[in-house]
Chains A and B, each alone.
Chain A
């Protein structure tokens, strides 16, 4: 199966979405997106960490120290209330655009 590059802009949305169900460390975020997309979407580190820095700066997530499954000290990211609100906004924006595109595709 060919790996598809992440469409730009969507990464932030996906990160926020996978964090909604709980705290995760960076690698797990990438993995979760990968598996949930049936291994279609591949999150490159070169995109993931800058995106995470940006989200941290915006205050949508916070980070805290935790212990990984390999017993290593690592940062876990947690969605903040502001992040949750941002996620809802972005989701509804996305839904609207998506259904608009769909309706064009169906009728045209």
Chain B
């Protein structure tokens, strides 16, 4: 330890220590001369050797190298600028991708002690649910000793006068704001003491965005009364935009969950234990010093107690697995079902994005490597001189590599800025919540620097070795680099072609059903506590009134809105393969309304309580080709397959593995049904009539009327966005690779002018002359494209579920991409090669 302190002193006072050392040596020389000994050697060298013992030589050399490198880079600003721009591109896209990953996965939410916040889901051997029935949550809240607080969030749609679309509101427990440490930006936020009871004054907290949008940022809003779902509520304050809350869907307002039945008339939220009911998302604050496992154990034993009281609704062997509630990635997810929960679909996509952005970096590095090699040839004289005056090749490599590191550092800074701009732009386009802040934090800075160093090694080390050793294999090395660039850009171009193809396919082909003229009406009866018979009356009235509207062709109902957010998935084992079956409770008119063809067997009838129609994609999974008449187990009940309908991925548009099964809506399904209607003409004009008809049946219900085709274009926006961004990446990569090829060909034309001259003098044809300079590209292009196609095929498997049913080996996409690719590369190679044809044989020979 002391040794390090002394060592540091040497660094801090190195001038003084060096002076002392010099005095020692001078004295030694004087004495030696006096005694007639031999004279001392090189004083400077001796001092350097002695100073070596202090252990700071590397730093002195580093600062020398850095100063020298900076001088070198300043001397060729064109090269430096090109290199930094290229690196900024390569690093920038990676920083943007990492930045998003950072926001979602690494960076905790801006709430108080995010690390002790847990989110709970329900799991049993055969079932899972991401939401928890409200009364189960209160049971845990009452008896848990491991959780110091329990928070519940429940999203809801609320109507307000003056807004055509329903608002998103989060009903939250009254401790929500205080537990998360949120301060109001105006007025006050919910308070456990004042707002934590069903009979306290109905209140609402506005989000900053909604306050500005709807109330024009009225500074006197606190204390005013507004009407939500036609019920008066007092605005108590506005929460700041920086407050993340505990959901990703950017709510317009927050309301106390204890007053939920006041706003949603007829709600059975407080007493309904069933899985089908709209549950809540449950969060818990861990007691200090405890581990998540302790809380899970406690909740499991509490659930076992509750199971005794509610054997039908609380599952046997129910457990409550937790995830870190203070991180954005764990806020989403709303799946329910039987079987095991599917593993996270986000990670393969993240892996894909990371691979694509790293490929861009690889192309940029390959290009820069080529540039450095070319520069190295021009610096041969400098290297020779430096070697002659005694620089070892290790020292030269270090010097050259320092230049690369300096470049990479500048590239990393520029890349960080570019990445921030790109990320910010993407987040604005994707309308992410305002509290997701893309401003770089220390992780992003560290990442940018780290990836800069990795890049420096990728593009700088080999050229440094080559140049310092005065090897003339530079052309070979450049061929390898070109090959790598071609491979990487080939992957990017093919993946972007696949995405473009998938988008085109999705827009132009029928997804198995017709959505252009369909309107959905979701009355949300379950939330209002409708019973099965009440719901039946309501739905029948609604359907018959809609039928009477002019221009309505057919009316039907379903449990999941086509292209909506509600997914009901059941795991089924067919011939040893486990499948995700999307379940729909429907009525017999459904297939007609959605124009889904019935291929075999028969439609459901109004009395088919144990029959099921499956999709063709599902039928194909059966070992026997014809599953008609076979039993299909669903939960505890067995159904008979009576018909096969065309495949229609109604909710999972992009997933080729999705299979469907349809059964007749039973009493239990009625409160959650959605009514669909097909219009004869364009549906837009009908929407207001439909809305007023729906509203007229029960004034306390606020139906959500949507055009299915708007949901479709909303979904396409995402695909379009992905296709555009990957295409831009692919194009940039291809452009970089082409620049590399242009450079290599141009270099060899100027390098081999004499050879070309001789060949021309001997009567070589233009094709032969061209082949002299282009031949060297054949191998890298061939090997690179081959590697690229293989890589693309391997990578795009990750995309399989996002391609709207086209194969990840789609020949059109591959051939199209390769066509564009070959054309671009051909131009890049031949453009500079034409200069070879203009060589004047006489002149080039006389040139010597």
Contacts and interface: CB of A to CB of B under 8 A. Distances in A.
A57 B10 contact: yes
Contacts of B50: 49-50, 52-53
B28 interface: yes
Given A53-B21, A59-B3, A63-B20, A25 B27 contact: yes
Nearest to A51: B53
B49 A46 contact: yes
B696 interface: no
B472 interface: no
B34 interface: yes
B51 to A, nearest CB: 7
Interface stretch (A65-73, A87-95, A97-105): A65-73
Contacts of A75: 20, 23-24
A70 B51 CA distance: 26
Contacts of A45: 25, 28, 40-41, 46
Given A27-B32, A45-B28, A50 B49 contact: yes
B271 interface: no
Nearest to B42: A46
A6 interface: no
B262 interface: no
Given A63-B20, A72-B27, A53 B3 contact: no
Given A46-B46, A57-B7, A58-B3, A74 B27 contact: yes
A49 B23 contact: no
A53 B40 CA distance: 18
A63 B30 CA distance: 20
B441 interface: no
B23 A74 contact: yes
Interface residues of A, number: 23
Interface in A25-62: 25-27, 30, 45-46, 49-54, 56-59
Contact of B27 (A27, A54, A59): A27
Contacts of B692: none
Nearest to A68: B27
B3 A49 contact: no
A51 B41 CA distance: 17
B31 A57 contact: no
B731 interface: no
B232 to A, nearest CB: 80
B52 interface: yes
Contact of B23 (A51, A56, A58, A73): A73
Interface in B1-43: 2-3, 6-7, 10, 20-21, 23-25, 27-28, 30-32, 34, 40-41
B88 to A, nearest CB: 43
Interface residues of B toward A: which range?
20 to 34
A39 to B, nearest CB: 12
Contacts of B21: 49, 53
Q: Chain B CB within 10 Å — which of A25, A26, A27, A70 has the most?
A: A27
A98 B625 CA distance: 91
Contacts, number: 65
Contacts of A54: 53
Given A50-B49, A53-B51, A53-B53, A26 B3 contact: no
Q: Chain A CB within 10 Å — which of B10, B21, B31 has the most?
A: B31
B41 A49 contact: no
B3 A57 contact: yes
B20 A50 contact: no
Contact of A50 (B2, B10, B30, B53): B53
Contacts of B53: 50-51, 53-54, 57
Contacts of B34: 70
Contacts of B28: 26-27, 30, 45
Contacts of A73: 23
Interface in B45-76: 46, 49-55
B4 to A, nearest CB: 10
Contact of A26 (B2, B24, B54): B24
Interface string B527-569: 0000000000000000000000000000000000000000000
Contacts of A52: 24, 50
A37 to B, nearest CB: 16
A49 B55 CA distance: 14
Contact of B25 (A49, A57, A63, A72): A49
A68 B34 CA distance: 14
B51 A57 contact: no
A94 to B, nearest CB: 22
A26 B10 CA distance: 19
Interface in B728-779: none
A65 B2 CA distance: 22
Nearest to A73: B23
B505 to A, nearest CB: 72
Given A57-B7, A57-B53, A73-B23, A27 B46 contact: no
Contact of A49 (B6, B10, B32, B46): B46
Contacts of B32: 27
Contact of B6 (A26, A27, A59): A59
Contacts of A27: 27-28, 31-32
A74 B32 CA distance: 15
B30 A46 contact: no
B59 to A, nearest CB: 15
Contacts of B23: 73-75
Nearest to A25: B27
A68 B23 CA distance: 12
A65 to B, nearest CB: 9
Contacts of B2: 59
A50 B52 contact: yes
Nearest to B43: A45
Contacts of A51: 53
A70 B30 contact: yes
A69 to B, nearest CB: 9
Contacts of A74: 23-24, 27
B13 to A, nearest CB: 13
A57 B6 contact: yes
Contacts of A30: 28
23 contacts: A25-B24, A25-B27, A26-B28, A27-B31, A27-B32, A45-B28, A45-B41, A46-B46, A49-B24, A49-B25, A50-B53, A51-B53, A53-B52, A57-B6, A57-B7, A57-B53, A58-B3, A68-B27, A68-B31, A70-B31, A70-B34, A72-B30, A75-B24
* Among all A-B residue pairs, the 3 with the closest Cβ atoms: A53-B53, A49-B50, A27-B31
Interface of A: 25-27, 30, 45-46, 49-54, 56-59, 63, 68, 70, 72-75
Given A30-B28, A59-B6, 17 more contacts: A25-B24, A26-B27, A27-B28, A27-B31, A46-B46, A49-B49, A49-B50, A52-B50, A53-B52, A54-B53, A57-B10, A57-B53, A57-B54, A70-B34, A72-B30, A73-B23, A74-B27
